[in-house]
């Protein structure tokens, strides 16, 4: 079978690799689509080191179950599934508390276990979520990043009628906007890239102007350190900031700012197994159409071109395998 592999920083090669066989509690998935995001890009650029090369890339994948391991119900063959690409251990203290995103033993697809831009992959059966056949491939391929956005909204506690500011409308910001609008909230957005801002507006968001302040909630998706202090300044006293974008650089916020304005700062990392993924899949079954965030589709053989397109294009790039 063919797989898209990183052979050196910024060098991708589609090569022949052995087709995997499912272990007792795994399913074999014929892949149909894989979305690309910023974390794939940091692997591609060599900013996140991988255990070996060639390394199969990608983590936002969907497909069909074509075989199952000995301990998995054979009825699952034929299911259309979305892969939850963070295999928490379900045994540690964090997992037992339901806080699986903090699992220290977490296996992260595409980072510490091979990725899934391949014709076939094996996945633990519990991390392959069945999705109704009426959900289109284009909507389905958004399931994983949509779950990240949905988990941030869940952790924020925002409800209909609250005001909020979304900083950055890369695909994560766009999925947030769509979910917020779906929940009866009109997000204001800050995004320097005109095309990305226009996509957010098409989803129902409003471009924030200088005088828009006093927001109840902030969702920071850009990860740009310099963007954080001015965004926090736009929160109402007692407001809540959800930090989703990542940077290792200090962001220049004083405790004075936080304490005097009694702000709540919440870090939101991926999602917790299994409820966040299950709830997102239910939203897709219910008709939410996140594929409006998809931008460019590439065949497997053009994975290298897809990675080049990720940085510059508004909306999401994805690899279509079916």
Instruction: Tell me which residues touch Zn ion (CB under 5 A).
Output: 37, 60, 88-89, 92, 95, 103
**What is the distance of C-alpha 210 from the center of its chain?**
29
Cβ proximity of 133 and 80 under 8 Å: yes
Q: How far is the CB of 261 from Zn ion (least distance, A)?
A: 32
Q: Which is nearer to Zn ion, 39 or 289 (CB)?
A: 39
Local structure of residue 278 (DSSP, 8 states)? H
Helix segments in 76-160, DSSP class H = 93-96, 137-140, 143-156
Q: Give per-residue burial for 129-142: e unless 16+ CB within 10 Å, then b.
A: bebeeebebbbbbb
User: What is the radius of gyration, based on Cα positions, of the chain?
Assistant: 20
Minimum gap (Å) between residue 88 Cβ and Zn ion:
5
Closest separation between CB of residue 146 and Zn ion, Å? 10
Buried b (16+ CB within 10 A) or exposed e, 41-78: eebbeeeeebeeebbbbbbbbbbbbebbbeebeeeeee
- Cβ closest to Zn ion, residue 92 vs residue 253: 92
Q: Tell me how far, at minimum, the Cβ of 65 lies from Zn ion, in Å.
A: 22
Distance CA 158, CA 241 (A): 11
CB of 37 to Zn ion, least distance (A): 3
Closest by alpha carbon to 24, among 63, 67, 88, 75?
67
Helix (H/G/I), strand (E/B), else coil: 40: helix
Find the shortest distance in angstroms from Cβ 319 to Zn ion: 13
Residue with smaller CB distance to Zn ion, 60 or 272:
60
Of the pair 60, 79, the CB lying nearest Zn ion is at 60
Smaller CB distance to Zn ion: residue 143 or 300?
A: 143
Tell me how far, at minimum, the Cβ of 256 lies from Zn ion, in Å.
35
Cα separation, 293 vs 173, in Å, equals 10
Nearer to Zn ion, 3 or 103 (CB): 103
The nearer residue to Zn ion, 57 or 300, going by C-beta atoms, is 57
């Amino acid at each position: 079978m063919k797989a898209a592999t990183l052979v050196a920083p910024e060098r991708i090669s589609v090569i022949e690799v052995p087709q995997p066989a499912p272990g007792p509690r795994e399913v074999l998935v014929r892949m149909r689509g894989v979305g690309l995001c910023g974390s794939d890009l940091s692997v591609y650029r060599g900013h996140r080191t991988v255990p070996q090369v060639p390394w199969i890339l990608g983590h936002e994948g969907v497909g069909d179950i074509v075989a199952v391991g000995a301990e998995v119900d054979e009825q699952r063959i034929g299911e259309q599934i979305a892969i939850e690409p963070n295999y928490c251990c379900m045994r540690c203290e964090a997992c037992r508390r339901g806080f699986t995103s903090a699992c220290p033993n977490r296996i992260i697809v595409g980072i510490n276990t091979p990725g899934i831009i391949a014709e076939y992959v094996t996945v633990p059966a519990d991390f392959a979520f069945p999705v109704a056949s009426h959900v289109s491939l284009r909507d389905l391929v958004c399931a994983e990043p949509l779950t990240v956005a949905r988990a941030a909204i869940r952790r924020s506690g925002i409800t209909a009628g609250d005001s909020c500011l979304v900083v950055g409308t890369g695909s994560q910001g766009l999925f947030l906007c769509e979910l917020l609008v779906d929940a009866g909230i009109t997000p204001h957005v800050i995004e320097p890239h005109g095309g990305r801002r226009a996509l957010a507006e098409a989803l129902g968001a409003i471009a924030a102007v200088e005088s828009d302040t006093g927001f109840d909630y902030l969702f920071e998706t850009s990860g740009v350190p310099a963007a954080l202090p001015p965004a926090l300044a736009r929160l109402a006293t007692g407001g809540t900031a959800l930090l989703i974008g990542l940077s290792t650089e200090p962001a220049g916020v004083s405790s004075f700012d936080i304490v005097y304005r009694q702000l709540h700062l919440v870090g939101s990392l991926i999602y917790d197994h299994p409820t966040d993924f299950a709830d997102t899949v239910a939203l897709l079954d219910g008709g939410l159409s996140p594929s409006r965030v998809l931008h460019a589709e590439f065949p497997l053989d053009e994975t290298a071109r897809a990675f080049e397109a990720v940085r510059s294009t508004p909306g999401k790039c994805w690899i279509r395998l079916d």
